[in-house]
Amino acid sequence: MRISGETRVCALIGYPVEHSLSPCFQNAAFQHLGLNFVYVAFPVKASELGDAVRGVRSLGFYGLNVTMPHKITVIKYLDELDDTAKKIGSVNTILNRNGRLIGYTTDGIGAVNALKYNGVELYGRKIVILGAGGASRAISFTLAEEAGELVILNRTVGRAERLACDIKRLISRSVRIRWGGLTEENLREELKDADILINATPIGMMPNADETPVKRDFLHPDMTVFDLIYHPLETRLLKEAKNVGAKTINGLDMLIHQGAVSFKIWTGIDPPVNVMMRATEEELKRRGEI
């Protein structure tokens, strides 16, 4: 990589970011296509966010990814939001267009692209989503444009209801949307005929890798199970889903595909997803995580 006075800088801001995989696969994509870009990660605490965004303007950073805990609070520092980011109320990608900062969210389309990349049909399918937080919100809005039925289950039922009502109010097509508590009874009933199960909760994430949000008995071979967690790469949920013959997808696919959409926003060029995948796998091997 050759850095010059003309190199365009993209960055990740959040807290913490030290173990992020984004610099690995974004830089691999830039290098593969011979683009004079570089991608770095900066730890930015909540109290520092305003200063960081002002620094982006002053230093002429070309683009940003935004991760926790800033996806919502960063909005007040931006000049414009695209339509999807407005609906969802969250931003994870920023483009600096001649000093004007424009916010986007790529989480939802990243999840949809990860499913399609793995050969999963979405149109008309029954999709059960666990969780009603930021990731679930972005994904649910995007999936509602294709799904036949969307079921949102969350420990706090009110959050699931609010999300479902927001989707009904804001999307352009009619889709059957239901909600409920994340209980064994609801899981047993809803998963009987579910085509796709998406875990958008932290249940099963390290260091609690022995936990799972769904009993193995509720899984079946005619479903796809997509766990947004990528640490560990194969959660207990995915292991048990694989054991019953279900198709499984881990969170690494979503991470890379949402990053690929960010790459397209910044560069206007279709991203080399396979290159990004290979670079990430090599980095994980280097870290001893696979």
| Predicted confidence (pLDDT) per residue in 79-136, tens digit | 999 999 999 999 999 999 999 999 999 999 999 999 999 999 999 999 999 999 888 9
**Which tens digits make up the pLDDT trace of 21-52?**
999 999 999 999 999 999 999 999 999 999 99
Q: Where are the beta strands (DSSP E) in the chain?
A: 8-14, 37-43, 63-66, 80-81, 93-97, 100-104, 126-130, 149-154, 176-181, 196-199, 224-227, 247-249
CA-nearest of 255, 252, 254, 260 to 281 is 252
The residues with which 93 forms a beta bridge, in sequence order, are 65, 104
Summarised one tens digit per residue, pLDDT across range 219-277 is 999 999 999 998 889 999 999 999 999 999 999 999 999 999 999 999 999 999 999 99
Say which of 71, 76, 192, 242 is annotated catalytic. Answer: 71
| Phi then psi dihedrals of residue 130, to 5 deg | -100, 125
pLDDT band per the 50, 70, 90 thresholds, residue 15: very high
Residue 1 has pLDDT above 80, yes or no: no
Q: What is the mean pLDDT of residues 5-12?
A: 96
pLDDT cut 70: percent of the chain above it: 100
Q: Is 164 helix (H, G, I), strand (E, B) or coil?
A: helix
- Percent of the chain past pLDDT 90, that is, above it, reads 89
> Which residue type, as a one-letter code, is found at position 84?
T
Contacts of 128 (CB under 8 A, 6+ apart): 151, 153, 190, 191, 194, 196, 197, 198
The whole-angstrom separation of Cα 252 and Cα 280 is 9
- Confidence bin at 173 (pLDDT 50/70/90): confident
Orientation of helix 22-32 relative to helix 251-267, angle to 10°: 50
Q: What is the pLDDT of residues 191-206, one digit of tens each?
A: 999 999 999 999 999 8
Q: What ranges do the domains of the chain cover?
A: 8-105+253-287, 108-249
* The domain over range 108-249 is classified in CATH as 3.40.50.720: yes
With beta carbons less than 8 A apart as the criterion, state whether 33 and 14 touch. no
Active site annotation includes 71: yes
8-105+253-287 with 108-249: one CATH topology? Answer: yes
| Domain 8-105+253-287 CATH class label | alpha beta
Residue pair 11/41 in contact (Cβ under 8 Å)? The answer is yes
Dmax of the chain from CA atoms?
Answer: 60
